[in-house]
Every structure is written in C-alpha cells, then in structure tokens.
Amino acid sequence: MDRAAREELVRVLRAYDDAVIAPYRDRMQACVDAERARLARAFLSGGTDSMLRGLPPPMRWRPPVLEVDYCEARELHLDGRGLLFIPSYFCWRTPVSFADPGLPPVLVYPVSRPDAQTSPGRSDASLTALLGRTRAAVLSVVAHGVTNSELARAISVSPATATHHTTVLRDAGLIESRRPNTVLHTLTPTGAALLRPDRRGRSPVA
C-alpha cells in the first residue's frame, strides 16, 4: 500500500472514530471501569473462586473448570499458565478466546451494559428526592466500587464536582473512601441499605 493510500485509510478511520466512537467513549470506559472494580472487589472479598463466580452469564465456574458458552466445542488447558480476562464493550453474546502457545491465554468477554432501568441517570424518585439527582446517581455508581476519575466519567461531571459529591456522601456516612494510591469509593452499610432491593419494595437504583 503506497503512502497516499495509507494516509487516506488513516483519515477515514479517524473520521469514523470521531463520528461513531468518540461521542460514547466515556460511557464505554465507565462500563469497563465498573466491571474491573466489581471483579476486583469480588477477588479481594472471596479470592479467585468468588471472582470467577461473579463473571457474566456466559461463564460458569465449576471448580476446577471454567465453562464458557462458546461458538464451538473446545477445551483450553492452561498447563500452569495464567488466564487474562478482558472485558470488552464490543464483544457481544459470547466470549472470544485467543490462545498463543508463547503467551498467556486471553479471554475477551462482553462487559455488562446498564439498561434504561439501571442507568445512573435514572435514579428512582424517592432516592432522588432525598439526595438530589446527581448524588443519587453517585451513590448508585459507587455501589460497584469506583475511583474518582471513574465516577466522574460515569456521571459525566468534572473530577472536582465528583469529589464534592463524594465528600458530602462520605460526611453523611453513606460511602467511605480508601487509598493507599488511588482513592477507591465504596458504600457503607448505611449507603448499601438505601440501594437495597427491598427498600420500600422498589427495584434497586443503579
């Protein structure tokens, strides 16, 4: 391919990215960030078994075998190698595996996408009336365990605004924030109680 053709290909790909990907990049990144935080919390709480049990529906952990809904019947033996999990916004329905004998096996799986009933912007009326729309959304997103930058992307606010809202919720005893490196926001028991499914018989806020 000559230089002019390469430049034209790059121009077309950039135009496609600007028109199709860029407007939704923050939403995509927020979904991936929430998935990583969710599995990390499961791992820290209950180890590898807990994390594997928390993988999306296409996968089932039946020790020592991870069963995956796949497009064809096949077996992948790790033989002492690790398995790298990559949540992907563009992977639909069934995971995809990449096996290179010289590299650790990789499993790309569909990341969970919030639907209209679980979008951070669709907090239920009672929680919104209590906290305000933005703080209700913050509390919902923090349920997954998030950093300040992840939270800012998820609810489309600046990091400074996200910090302001987490400070208010933390002072109210609804969330807690821990470091050592990047601050991770999580719910307190009181905050979790506000989002509990049986709270006034309503569906959970997310």
Q: What is the pTM of this model?
A: 0.60
Q: Residue 20: inside a domain, yes or no?
A: no
Do 95 and 130 have their domain in common? no
Q: Residue 11: inside a domain, yes or no?
A: no
* Cα-based distances in Å from 85 to 9, 65, 119, 136, 148: 31, 15, 25, 31, 24
3-state secondary structure of 14: helix
Q: Which of 26, 31, 40, 23 is nearest to 141 (CA)?
A: 31
pLDDT digits (tens, 9 = 90+) for 56-80: 878 889 988 999 988 888 888 888 8
Domain assignment of residue 95, given as a range: 25-110
Instruction: Quote the pLDDT of residue 196.
Output: 67
Task: Give DSSP secondary structure letters for 89-129.
Answer: TT--SS-EEE--TTS--EEEEEPP---TTT-TT---HHHHH
Give the confidence band of 165 by pLDDT, cuts at 50, 70, 90: very high
Do 139 and 170 have their domain in common? yes
Which residues have CB under 8 Å from 137's CB, separation 6+? 120, 121, 123, 155
Q: Residue 31: inside a domain, yes or no?
A: yes
pLDDT digits (tens, 9 = 90+) for 34-43: 788 778 878 8
Q: From CA 72, how far away is CA 53, in angstroms rounded?
A: 22
Number of domains in the chain: 2
Q: Residue 14: inside a domain, yes or no?
A: no
Q: Which of 92, 122, 133 is nearest to 109 (CA)?
A: 92
| 64 cis-preceded (ω within 30 degrees of 0) | yes
Please determine, for residue 111, whether its predicted confidence score (pLDDT) is greater than 50.
Answer: yes
